[in-house]
């Protein structure tokens, strides 16, 4: 499950200014992906897996079929490695990539405060009808941190 574009559920093409009909305004909908979003989709950061990770999460969005796995390694309370694999549309992959970039090097307590808005802002915005895509990366990060904390509590 590498980063892949889900044509079945999110059929838009990845062109700046490409017109795409939607249910609400079939003749006026336009998706604009800026260069930062395109860069994070075509060259996502931190793709892969971490063997013996300290935290792991699997999240998905049943509405559009996107899915993400995320692994974290923690040292001294800081995220020292983070990797993900995602199946989804350009917005899902780009926001997941940016979420990992933002989280890298953060203290776990600070990473728990990272929001979808932080990710979207760091990308310079995403189309309004794709904002739900930003939920997956941050949701996976928070779930992986919870998994890490649960593992810690079982050890003590």
Over residues 76-112, the pLDDT tens digits come to: 999 999 999 998 888 889 999 999 999 999 999 999 9
Catalytic residue selected from 10, 31, 57, 64: 64
Lowest mean pLDDT among 18-27, 29-38, 60-69: 18-27
- Phi and psi of 47, rounded to 5°? -85, 135
Q: Is 103 helix (H, G, I), strand (E, B) or coil?
A: helix
Q: What does the pLDDT average to over 120-138?
A: 86
CATH code of the region 35-155: 3.90.1010.10
Structural contact between residues 60 and 134, judged by C-beta atoms closer than 8 angstroms = no
For residue 59, is pLDDT > 60?
Answer: yes
| Euclidean distance between CA atoms 138 and 135, whole angstroms | 6
Catalytic residue selected from 37, 70, 103, 133: 133
| Euclidean distance between CA atoms 36 and 140, whole angstroms | 21
Q: What does the pLDDT average to over 3-19?
A: 41
| Euclidean distance between CA atoms 50 and 46, whole angstroms | 10
Q: Sorting pLDDT into bands at 50, 70 and 90, what band is 31?
A: low
The pLDDT of residue 35 is 93
- Reply yes or no on whether 133 is catalytic: yes
Task: Give the Cβ contact number of residue 26 at 10 Å.
Answer: 9
| Euclidean distance between CA atoms 145 and 112, whole angstroms | 7
- Reply yes or no on whether 10 is catalytic: no
**pTM for this one?**
0.79
Structural contact between residues 84 and 68, judged by C-beta atoms closer than 8 angstroms = yes
């Amino acid at each position: 499950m590498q980063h892949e574009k889900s044509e079945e559920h999110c059929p838009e093409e990845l062109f700046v200014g490409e017109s795409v009909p939607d249910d609400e305004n079939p003749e006026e909908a336009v998706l604009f992906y800026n260069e930062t979003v395109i860069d994070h989709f075509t060259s996502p950061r931190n793709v892969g897996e971490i063997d013996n990770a300290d935290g792991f999460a699997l999240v998905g969005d049943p509405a559009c079929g996107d899915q993400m796995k995320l692994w974290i390694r923690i040292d001294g309370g800081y995220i020292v490695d983070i990797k993900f694999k995602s199946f989804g549309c350009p917005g899902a992959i780009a926001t997941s990539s940016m979420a990992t970039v933002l989280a890298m090097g953060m203290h776990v307590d600070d990473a728990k405060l990272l929001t979808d808005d932080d990710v979207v802002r760091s990308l310079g915005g995403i189309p309004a009808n794709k904002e739900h895509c930003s939920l997956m990366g941050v949701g996976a990060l928070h779930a992986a941190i919870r998994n890490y904390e649960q593992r810690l509590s079982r050890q003590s």
